[in-house]
Amino acid sequence: MAEKQIVDAIKKAIEGSSARERKFKQTLDLAINLKNVDMKNPKNRLDEEIQLPHGRGRDCKIAVFAGGETAVKAKERAELVISPEQLNELAGDKKKIKKIAEEYTFFIAEAPMMATIGKSLGKVLAPRGKMPKPIPPHGDATSIIEAMRNTIRLRSKDKKTFHTIVGAEDMDPEKVAENIEVLIKRVESRLERGRMNIGSVYIKTTMGPAVRIF
């Protein structure tokens, strides 16, 4: 798969959506269609966090479960920090938990809080693929937060077709193409027959038509 082929598809997708002026920045979304894969078998389902070399192209909101010095540092970088005391209060408010789960893209947590989070929030966070990434002992929460800002979550569930963001319309098409290549390589590495299990890949803007990459 030549990079030029990907770049040309990206440019075509952006051009196909430029006829109307939008009041918001459109994302570039990738659709991957698998073939000859039994998605009823949980082992064949994809659930990957992939760090894109050139970022997502738009901001994402990150919430941190932490206390003490870790919480102090996290407040400088994250949009939301939840202390152990606040976690206990949150546990009884399912409506608020759902709101937070929808509003924030990624969650990270100090390791000692993971058991409580799983018990009190797991039923809401787990089905959405948003259980927190644990902060290792003596780990740097701020570096994890910054890495997550360039990360996408790829989840196929039991479907052969799934989607993910790979950039934004104002990004350099070559950089978006590099993001896509990293993503496709990761997907291929998780499939039994690699590229042979990918039926097709499409790129589109938020409001524009899909363009086939291959």
Q: How far is CA 14 from the centre of its chain?
A: 21
Residues 81, 142 within the same domain: yes
**Residue 157 in 3-state DSSP?**
coil
Q: Please, are residues 210 and 12 in contact by the beta-carbon 8 Å criterion?
A: no
Assess whether 37 and 76 both reside in one domain. no
Q: Could you tell me the residue range of the domain that residue 160 belongs to? A: 3-57+150-212
How much is the CA Rg of the chain, to the nearest whole Å? 19
pLDDT digits (tens, 9 = 90+) for 126-162: 999 999 999 988 888 999 999 999 999 999 999 999 9
Residue 2 has pLDDT above 60, yes or no: no
pLDDT at 42 over 80: yes
Same domain, 118 and 164: no
103: helix, coil or strand? helix
Of 106, 187, 100, the C-alpha closest to 141 is 106
92 and 81, same structural domain? yes
Which of 98, 121, 148 marks a domain boundary? 148
Digit-coded pLDDT (tens) for 83-108: 999 999 998 898 999 999 999 999 99
Do 143 and 100 contact (CB within 8 A), yes or no?
Answer: no
Question: What pTM does this model have?
Answer: 0.88
CATH code assigned at 98: 3.40.50.790
Q: How far apart are CA 108 and CA 132, in angstroms?
A: 4
What Cα–Cα distance (Å) separates residue 132 from each residue in 9, 27, 96, 109, 147? 35, 25, 17, 6, 14
pLDDT for position 24: 83
**pLDDT value at residue 137:** 83
Q: What phi and psi, each to the nearest 5 degrees, are found at residue 154?
A: -110, 115
